[in-house]
Amino acid sequence: MDTPTEPANFSIVITVYDEQDNVVPLLRDILRVSRPLGIPFEVIFVDDGSRDETLSRLRGMLDESHELVVLALRRNFGQTYALQAGFDRARGEIVITMDGDRQNDPEDIPRLLESIQEGADVVSGWRKDRQDGFVLRLLPSWFANRLIRWVTKVPIHDQGCSLKAYRREVVERLDLYSDMHRFVAVLTMPTGARIDEIEVKHHSRSAGESKYGLSRVFKVMADLFTIQMVTRFRENPLRGFAILGGPFLAGSVLAGLIALLTPSANVVVTVVSLELGMVFATCLFAGLLGQAIIDHAARSPRRALGVKEIGENT
């Protein structure tokens, strides 16, 4: 690995949805911390179709900050698509992400940059002293993080922490969809990225309402299968579904042999053999469909999100 050098510039990407009371103080905190670093930077707020005054308050800050970039999606697409829009617009050699609810602390920005400078490709924040409710936030997060670590083998304590830093070349290889914003660090595995983790500060929410609840655990569990496919079988989904269907094929063959070799075997064994064979065939069909989708996506432009960059005269 080459000797790390001081980054020439960096981008901070923040997705927001109905955060009218947080965006202005958050921006000012970021400027207070980042300007003394002496490195060119930009702060990209992506408004994910907010229904309140979030967008207008950001627009009102354009005169105060030349570093501010405001992107507006035509409607609420969700955090993953908003994050991808921010990644697409980012120009910095290092891209930092953080939440728009002011629970992440901008004071940690220099430490993220330092870790990247020391050789990491991805730096993930760890909210070790997390300031959230136990039942609705801490307990689901505890369960989800352990499940993710067990399935993905990525030793990150806090996958849900939005405060992360990435080298630009890592971000450029990502193509986020669904609810993949929770697994950005995991999705860098196929690129061979070096992932580090640092403890970061965390504050209780002082304004606005949380967008998460217990349902997040079930979404994470549903997404883990997708993550396995994306990280292990992205280039060949047919192989992944064939492996998934292998046990069903074995069961079908075994039941078929029993039906053929055992005169006393009843019709139930035959039906079981046929059913298991149909499941295997379904897996193969799903693999073929997945392969076709991957091939089509490789030739197709990114989904149009109706992203509009807000300028002083708009």
Summarised one tens digit per residue, pLDDT across range 112-157 is: 999 999 999 999 888 777 665 545 555 566 666 666 666 666 777 7
pLDDT tens profile 146-186 = 666 666 667 777 777 889 999 998 888 777 766 666 677 77
Return d(Cα 127, Cα 171) in angstroms, integer: 22
Question: How, if at all, do strands 94-99 and 41-47 pair?
Answer: unpaired
| pTM for the predicted model, two decimal places | 0.70
Return d(Cα 248, Cα 252) in angstroms, integer: 6
State residue 43 phi and psi, 5-degree precision.
Answer: -115, 110
